[in-house]
Amino acid sequence: MRSCSVPKRSCLWAEMFPRLLSDVIYPSQCHLPKTCWRRSSTAPVSNVRPLPSQAHVVICGGGIVGSSVAYHLSKLGWTDVVLLEQGRLAAGTTRLCGGIVSTVKHISIETMMADYSNKLYQQLEQETGVQTGYIQTGSISLAHTQDRLISLRRLVSRLQVMGIPCDIISPKQVAQLHPLVNIHDLVGAMHVPGDAVISPPDVVQAFVTAAVHNGVQIYEGASVNHVMVEKGHVTGIETDRGHIDCEYFVNCAGQWAYELGLMSEEPVSVPLHPCEHFYLVTRPLEQGLRPDVPVIMDLDGRIYVRNWQGGVLSGGFEKNPKPIFTEGRNQLEFQSMLEDWDHYEPLLSALLRRMPSLESTEILQLVNCPESFTADMRCIMGESAAARNYFVLAGMNSSGTSFAGGAGKYLAEWMVHGYPSANVWPLDIKRFGVLQSSRTFLRHRVMEVMPLIYELKVPRWDFQTGRQLRTSPLYDRLDAQGARWMEKHGFERVKHFVPPGRDLLELDQSKTFYKPDWFDIVGAEVTCCKEAVCVIDMSSFTKFELSSSGGQALEILQHLCSNDLDVPVGHIVHTGMLNDRGGYQNDCSVVRLNKRSFFIISPTDQQVHCWSWLKQHMPNDSQLQLEDVTWKYTALNLIGPRAMDVLSELSYVPMTPDHFPSLFCKEMSVGYANGIRVMSMTHTGEPGFMLYIPIEYALHVYNEIMNVGQKYGIRNAGYYALRSLRIEKFFAFWGQDLDTFSTPLECGREFRVKFDKGTDFIGRDALLQQRQEGVCRRFTMFILDDHDTDLDLWPWWGEPIYRNGHYVGMTTSSAYSYTLARHVCLGFVHQYEEGTGAKLVVNPDFVNRGDYEIEIAGQRFRAKAKLYPFSSLFTQKRRKDEMELSSFQGK
Amino acid sequence: MLGVSGITDRIRHAGNSRGIYLSASALSNHFGIWTPKDLCSGNSGKAVPGSGFQRRPSKLQHGRSYKAQPQPYQLTLPQINSILKTNEYSFKVPEFDGRNISSVLGFDSNQLASNVPIEDRRSAASCLQSRGMLLGVFDGHAGCACAQAISERLLYYIAVSLLPRKTLIEIEDAVENERPVLPILHWHKHPNDYVSRETGRLYFTSLRTYWQECIDLADEEKLDTSAALKHAFNRLDSDISLEAQIEASNPYTNYTALRVALSGSTACVAHIDGTDMHVANAGDSRAVLGVQNPDGSWSALTLSTSHNAQNPEEVHRVRSEHPASEEKTVVRHDRLLGLLMPFRAFGDVKFKWSLELQKQVLESRPELLTGDEFFRSYPANHHTPPYLTAEPEVTYHRLRPQDKFLVLATDGLWDIMHRQNVVQIVGEHLTRLHIQQPISAAGYKVTVGQMHSLLLERKARMSSAFKDQNTATHLIRHALGSNEFGNIEHSRLSKMLSLPEGMARTYRDDLTVVVVQLNSHLIGAYNRAEDSID
C-alpha cells in the first residue's frame, strides 16, 4: 500500500523549482470553495496548444480522480498520458466539495483507499511544493443511540487491526476535543485522530504539477465526443479539438461518466446518477475556531461539520435527496447551482441542535455541489466489460477526496500490471451489467443511496428501491406464500418465508445487531431441509452454455479451469477459473452436457465478470459458441433426504444414490414436463437435487413438486436457510469468502486442482510455486464458544480474528448453525511476523494450535478453529456424502 | 366545543321547531330559519319565537355530559380531505407566450352539500364571441331544479345579451342553415357538475327565440353590460315562467319545466372584462372583493346587496310595491309572505303568478304533482302578485391593482363567516402560495439562527398551505373548523362533516364558494394606460 512513496526525482524537482511554483501557490486561507480556482494561465496546462495525435493513455476528466490517476500512472512509469478536461481543472465537484479525508468507511477496501489517500496528501506538499491545505484534524463520529454506538464499535475494531488509530470516546471527551459540540444527547463517539481536511483544488494542482513534471500532458477546454473501439479494444478518441489515437482510455468524468460511457462505439454502462448536495459556509466565529479542530460527523443528525477559515462548513445527506441531470443536461462546469434553503432546513436544524452557539454566526453561503452516487453506494472502478482497455473510475458517493488517492493508485496498477494490488471486486465495474443502467432505476436508487451514507448500517439490509426487476416465474406464487425478498444483481431472491399469521417487525424496527426476528422461521426451514425436503428457488444463478463443433469447448475450458473437465458426459465438476496469480477469477460448476458442450453455473453477480473473462480468453472461432442462458432456466433446489422420493414419484425413475450418483446430471421428465436438467447437488452439502427447468415449465414443475411433496412434508425455504447450511458445512462463497486473491490451496481445495491433467491451465505455475513455498493464509472455520445467541451481538462479517491475542485476519462470512446451535464464522488466518508484519507461511499445525477469539464490536468471543467441516456431527449421512462434502461448492 | 349531547339536544329542538312552525318547509332552507350560525354559536337571537329553542346547557354541565358519553367516532384527516375535496375545481387561465393576457388569473371553486342532493349550483365560462369571463353561484330552494336550470342557462342569456347584433345574425344564420354554430361560451365545469340533456331542446328554443327578438328589436348598438345583465336575468325568469305554462310534447320536459318554475333560486353573477367588473345579484348570495391595503393587510369590499329582510331598503321596496293593507303580511318573520327568505329569486312562480294562474296550471296537470303536498298548497295572504322578482341589482366596479380577488359565495358561507374574516383567510392563503418562493442568502447579513427560524416559519406555512391547493376548499375548511383562535380544530371539522344526512341541514346550509384571482399586474398596466390617455 505504501509502495507509492515519493520517488527521489520528485523531491529533487520540488527543490529545484520553488521559484517557479511560487506563483502557482496561492494562500489557501483566503478563498472560498467557489472562488478557489481563479487563475489558470500560470498553471502548467494549456488550452491553446493543439492536442497530440496519439498517446498511450487518454484520461477524460480533470477532477481530483482523473488527476490522481494521471499522477499514479506517471509514477508507475507510464508517461505518455494525456489528460483532457472539458472545462478547467478541478472545476466540478472537486472545486465545491468539502475536502474531508476520512477513513471511517464501511468496506475494508474503501478504508484502505482512504488511508492511502490520507498518507499521500500528507506528503504531497513536500513532494510537489504545492500547498494542499492538508491539516490533520482528526474526526469524531457521534452516536445518539446505542445501536449507532455498536456500529461505531464494529468500525473501531476493524480499523484498529488495519493500523488506523481510533477509539471510542465518551461525550465528555468530545466536548474537550471540540468547543462547539452539544453533548447532552450523545451516548458516545468514535475518534479517528488521523483523519484530515484538504483543499481539493490544491490537491489537484499538486497532482497535476507532479504529473506534468513526469511528462503527462494536460489540456483544458477539450471534451471527448466519442471513444473508438475496434475488435473490442479501445483505439482512439474523437474530441472537439481533433482525434487522438490511444490504447487506453480512462473515464474519470465524474457525474458525466454515465453519458461519456454511452459516447462510445461499444456503450459502456457506468451506473451512477448525480444528486444535489448542499453545505453551508459561515463567516468566522467571533471567538474564532482553531484550524485543527476535528471534523464532526453527526451521523444520526445526518450532517458533517468542519472548520472553514475560522467559521464552519457543514453539509449533510438529507432524507429526501434531489436527483439532478436525469435527462443528462450537460454543462461545462457547475455554474451557479441554485441554493435551496427550504430543502436544507432539516440539516440546518440538525446543525443548530449539535452546535447551538452557531446561532449568532453570520452565514456566508449555501453551496449546492452535485455529487454522483452509484447503485450500491460503492464507487465504480476498473476495466469495462464492453471494451478492453476502457477503464472507468467514477461514482465516489461524495467521498471523492477520501478515495481519489487510493482509487487512482489501484486503477493505475490495474492498467500497468493488469491487476490492482488489493481485492477491489466490491468496486469493480463488472459487478454491474447493463441492467443497472436505466436512468429511472438510477434516479430512484440514488434517492435511497444518498441518505444511506450516514444511516445506520445494520446486518442484512436490502435496497428498497429499484426492485422487482428480474424475477423468477414463480415470484408471485412464492410471494403469496409469505416470501420475504432480497435482491442480488437485480434478481429477487427469497430470504425466508413468513408463515401465515406470523407478523414480523416492520422493516425499520427489524434493524438489529442482535438476534433477528426471523430466527425461528429460518430454524424451521433448516430443520425441514435436514429432516424432510425443502424447495428453494435459485434461478438467479448465472448460467452459460459453451458449445463447439469439435473439441474446442473442452480445450478452452481445460485451459481456463483448474479441475479436469475431460469427464464422462453427465458429470458435474466443481472448479475454479483462476487468474495467472492462481486466484479465483470465478468459482463455478461445469456440467458436461455432451462431448462438445458444457453448462456453466456461476454465482449470480458473475454474470458480467465471468462472461468477460471467458470472452477474453476465447479464440476468435466461429465454431465455438458461448451463450448466456440465465434467463432460459428456472432453478429449483430440492434439499433434504426426501428429495429423491419426491423426484422419483414425479418421474417414475429411481433416484437413490445407486441409480443417481452424486454430482451427476441427467435430462429427464418431471411431471408432464420433459427436458429438465436434474443435477445431484444442492450447493449446501445436504442431499438433494438441483432442477434446471426451461422457464415455461417452471410453474408446472413447482406445482407438481409441492403437490407430491406434501406427504413428505415439503416446504418452501429461502437463502437464509441455505446460507446457514452452507456455512456450517464450511462452503466458501465467491465474492464473499473468495476473491481474485485467494487460491484453491489457501482454502483447502487442492483436490480440485489437477496439475497433471495434461493441459496447462491459467494459474498453474503460480499454484505450483505456492505449493512449493506454502500458503500464507488458510481458510478456517470458527465456532463461537461462549456466544449467547439471544443476548450477544451477532457476528456478520469483517470481524477481526485473534490468535493467542494477536490479530491474524478477518472473518468473511458467518451464520448461525442450527445443527451445532452455535455461530459459525469463516475467515482466513494469516501469520504476521512480529515487528515487521510480514506474512509467514501458515501450515495446518499453526491453525490448529492456537486459541482463537473473534471480536464483535469490541467484545471478544472464544472460538474453535477448524480446517475441515464437522462431518461427524451430521447425522443424516449417505454413502456419497463425503464426495460432495469434500468437493463443496457454494455461491 | 360542542359536546355530543349538546348537538343531539339542539337537533331535537331544531326538529321540533321546524315541525311546529313551518309545515311547508320540508325541502328548503329558505323556508326553514335554521342556520348553522344559530346553532353553532349558540346565538338564539334569531330563533323563531315559540320554537321551543332553549339556550344550550351551561358549559359545566356540558363538559360533564361530554365526558359521560363515549368518545364519538372521529374522521381521519384523509377522510376529511376527501370529503372537502370531492367537488373542488380549479381553473387557470392559460398563459399565452409566458404572459397572462386576461385580468382573471384563474379561479378556485368548491361546494359542500348539506341538503341531499345539494341545492347549490355554480357556473363559470369564458365568453368566446365577446370578451370577459362569467362566474356565478346559484342557491336553490324547494329543490334543486331551478338552480340547475339557471346554472345551465343564465350565462348563455347574458352572453347573448352582450353580443352585437351582427354576431347574433351570424349565429342565427348558421342555425337556420344547419351550419356549425360559433360557440358562445367556453365552460369551466367540474366533472360532477350535472347537465340536463332532455330539456336541452326546450332551452335552446327559448334561447333562440330570445336572440331572434334581440335581432328584431335591438338597435345596432349593443346594450351596455349593466343593462345586458338585467335584461338577461329578467328574460330567463320570464322564459322559465312561460315554459311552465305551455304544454310541451314531451311529458318529461313538461314535468321539468314545472319543477323549475315551482322551485326557486337566487343568482349572483360576476362579469369580468379587463378592468370592468359587473356583479349582478338577485337574492342573498354575495360577492366580496378582497382588497390589499398598502400595508399588506386585507379589507373587504362588498359588491352586492343582499335581498332579504336584513336589508331595510329591500323591505321598503317590497312593501312599497303592494297596497298598504298588506304591509303586515308581505314581510312576516323576516320572510316574504312569511315563507321565503330571499326577496328576489328566479322561479318561485307561486310568488309571481296570480292564484288563478297557479290553480289553472297545477290542476290541469295533477298527474305531475301527485303526492307532493307542498306544491299544491298556495301561499297565504297572496293578493297582489307578483311579490317576487328576478331583477338583479347590478354593481359596477373598476378594478384597481390593489383588488386581488373576488369571492362569490352563497349565504351558507356568509351565515357562518364574516366577510372580513373571509377576505383575511383567502388573502393570506393566496399570498402564502406566492411568497413560498426560493430565498437566497446572498448579499444579506443573516445569522444562522435567523435563517433557521425563517426556514421553520416557511415550513410551517408550507405544511398548512399544502393541505389545500384550492383556495375555496381552504375557505370551507376554515368556515367549518375554525375555533375562536382562527385555527382549524380537527375534532370540530370532523363533527361538522360527519353529521348524518338528515341532520346536516340544521347545522349548516349548502356551501358554494368561488374565489376568482385577479391579475393585478395586468390591471395595473390597464390603469396606467387609461390614465395616460386621460
Distance CA A477, CA B302 (A): 66
B323 in the same domain as B295: no
pLDDT at residue B166, rounded to an integer: 86
pLDDT at residue B474, rounded to an integer: 87
- Looking at chain A, the domain(s) classified CATH 3.50.50.60 span 54-431
Which residue among B438, B440, B459 places its CB closest to the CB of A345? B459
pLDDT band at A27 (very low <50, low <70, confident <90, very high): very low
A760-793 pLDDT per residue, tens: 999 999 999 999 999 999 999 999 999 999 999 9
CB contact under 8 A, A342 and B458: yes
CB contact under 8 A, B456 and A282: no
CATH architecture of A542-723: 2-Layer Sandwich (3.30)
Asked if residue A729 lies in contact with residue A505, where contact means CB atoms within 8 angstroms, the answer is no
pLDDT at A189 over 70: yes
Task: Choose the weakest-confidence range: A44-53, A295-304, B376-385.
Answer: A44-53
A685-701 pLDDT per residue, tens: 889 999 999 999 999 99
What SS3 state is found at B55?
coil
Which residue among A338, A363, A365 places its CB closest to the CB of B448? A363
User: How distant is the Cα of B491 from the closest Cα of chain A, in angstroms?
Assistant: 30
Distance CA A373, CA B128 (A): 53
Q: Given this structure, which CATH class describes domain A776-890?
A: mainly beta
User: How distant is the Cα of B292 from the closest Cα of chain A, in angstroms?
Assistant: 27
Residue B423 lies in a domain: yes
Taking any CB pair shorter than 8 Å as contact, residues of chain A touching chain B are 280, 282, 338-342, 344-345, 348-349, 351-352, 358-363, 365-366
User: How distant is the Cα of A358 from the closest Cα of chain B, in angstroms?
Assistant: 7
- Looking at chain A, the domain(s) classified CATH 3.30.1360.120 span 542-723
Q: Which helix (H) or strand (E) holds A665?
A: strand A665-670
Q: What is the mean pLDDT of residues A746-755?
A: 91
pLDDT at A264 over 80: yes
User: How distant is the Cα of B335 from the closest Cα of chain A, in angstroms?
Assistant: 55
Cell readout for A240 is 472537439
User: How distant is the Cα of A341 from the closest Cα of chain B, in angstroms?
Assistant: 7
Cell readout for A440 is 429511472
User: How distant is the Cα of B435 from the closest Cα of chain A, in angstroms?
Assistant: 13
Q: Which of A606, A604, A559 is nearest to A585 (CA)?
A: A606
CB contact under 8 A, B446 and A342: no
Cell readout for A154 is 464494529
User: How distant is the Cα of B83 from the closest Cα of chain A, in angstroms?
Assistant: 30
Report helix, strand and coil shares of chain A as percent, to nearest 5: 30, 30, 40
pLDDT at residue B142, rounded to an integer: 85
CB within 8 Å of B252: residues ≥ 6 apart: B198
Q: What is the mean pLDDT of chain B?
A: 78
Cell readout for A608 is 458480467
- For residue B441, the chain A residues in CB contact (below 8 A) are 339, 341, 363, 365-366
Taking any CB pair shorter than 8 Å as contact, residues of chain B touching chain A are 438-442, 445-449, 451-452, 455-456, 458-459, 462
Total domain count, chain B: 2
* Number of other residues whose CB lies within 10 A of the CB of residue B232: 25
Q: What is the mean pLDDT of chain A?
A: 88
Distance CA A813, CA A811 (A): 6
C-alpha torsion sign, points A606, A609, A612, A618: negative
B420 in the same domain as B383: no
pLDDT at A539 over 90: yes
In the 8-state DSSP scheme, what is residue A474?
A: T
- For residue B458, the chain A residues in CB contact (below 8 A) are 342, 345
pLDDT at B82 over 60: yes
The CATH code of the domain that includes B394 is: 3.60.40.10
Domain extent, residue B383, equals 308-341+353-387
Asked if residue A466 lies in contact with residue A445, where contact means CB atoms within 8 angstroms, the answer is yes
CB within 8 Å of A28: residues ≥ 6 apart: A131, A132, A133, A199, A202
B270 in the same domain as B312: no
A509-519 pLDDT per residue, tens: 667 899 998 99
B315 in the same domain as B266: no
B321 in the same domain as B301: no
Q: What is the mean pLDDT of residues A457-481?
A: 90
* Number of other residues whose CB lies within 10 A of the CB of residue A38: 7
B423 in the same domain as B330: no
CB contact under 8 A, B455 and A362: no
Asked if residue A863 lies in contact with residue A825, where contact means CB atoms within 8 angstroms, the answer is yes
CB contact under 8 A, A342 and B448: no
B191 in the same domain as B119: yes
B226 in the same domain as B172: yes
Distance CA A206, CA A212 (A): 10
CB contact under 8 A, A339 and B445: no
Residue B162 lies in a domain: yes
CB contact under 8 A, A361 and B448: yes
Q: What ipTM goes with this model? A: 0.80
CB contact under 8 A, B462 and A342: yes
Which residue among A338, A340, A363 places its CB closest to the CB of B451? A363
- For residue B438, the chain A residues in CB contact (below 8 A) are 338-342
Exposed / middle / buried, residue A879 (Cβ in 10 Å: 0-12, 13-18, 19+): exposed
Q: What is the mean pLDDT of residues A622-635?
A: 93
pLDDT at residue A5, rounded to an integer: 37
B278 in the same domain as B323: no
State the pairing for strand pair A624-628/A597-602.
Answer: unpaired
CB contact under 8 A, B445 and A362: yes
A222-262 pLDDT per residue, tens: 989 999 999 899 999 999 999 999 999 999 998 889 999 99
CB pairs under 8 A between A and B: 59
CB contact under 8 A, A359 and B441: no
B427 in the same domain as B297: yes
Residue B292 lies in a domain: yes
CATH of region A54-431: 3.50.50.60
CB contact under 8 A, B456 and A342: no
pLDDT at B403 over 60: yes
- For residue B451, the chain A residues in CB contact (below 8 A) are 341, 348, 363
User: How distant is the Cα of B428 from the closest Cα of chain A, in angstroms?
Assistant: 20
Q: Please tell me which residue of chain A has the smallest CA distance to B438.
A: A340
CB within 8 Å of A263: residues ≥ 6 apart: A224, A225, A226, A227
B21 in the same domain as B142: yes
CB contact under 8 A, A341 and B452: no
In the 8-state DSSP scheme, what is residue A293?
A: P
pLDDT at residue A304, rounded to an integer: 95
User: How distant is the Cα of B515 from the closest Cα of chain A, in angstroms?
Assistant: 29
- In a mutational test of the A interface, the residue from B432, B447, B448, B450 whose CB has the highest number of chain A CBs within 10 Å is B448
Q: Which helix (H) or strand (E) holds A188?
A: strand A188-192
Q: How far is CA A671 from the centre of its chain?
A: 42
Task: Choose the weakest-confidence range: A303-307, A774-778, A867-871.
Answer: A867-871
Q: What is the mean pLDDT of residues B290-295?
A: 90
pTM (whole model) above 0.90: no
Distance CA B274, CA A752 (A): 90
Asked if residue A650 lies in contact with residue A671, where contact means CB atoms within 8 angstroms, the answer is yes
SS3 labels along A395-430: CCCCCHHHHHHHHHHHHHHHHHHCCCCCCCHHHEHH
Distance CA B257, CA A278 (A): 67
Q: What is the mean pLDDT of residues A33-49?
A: 45
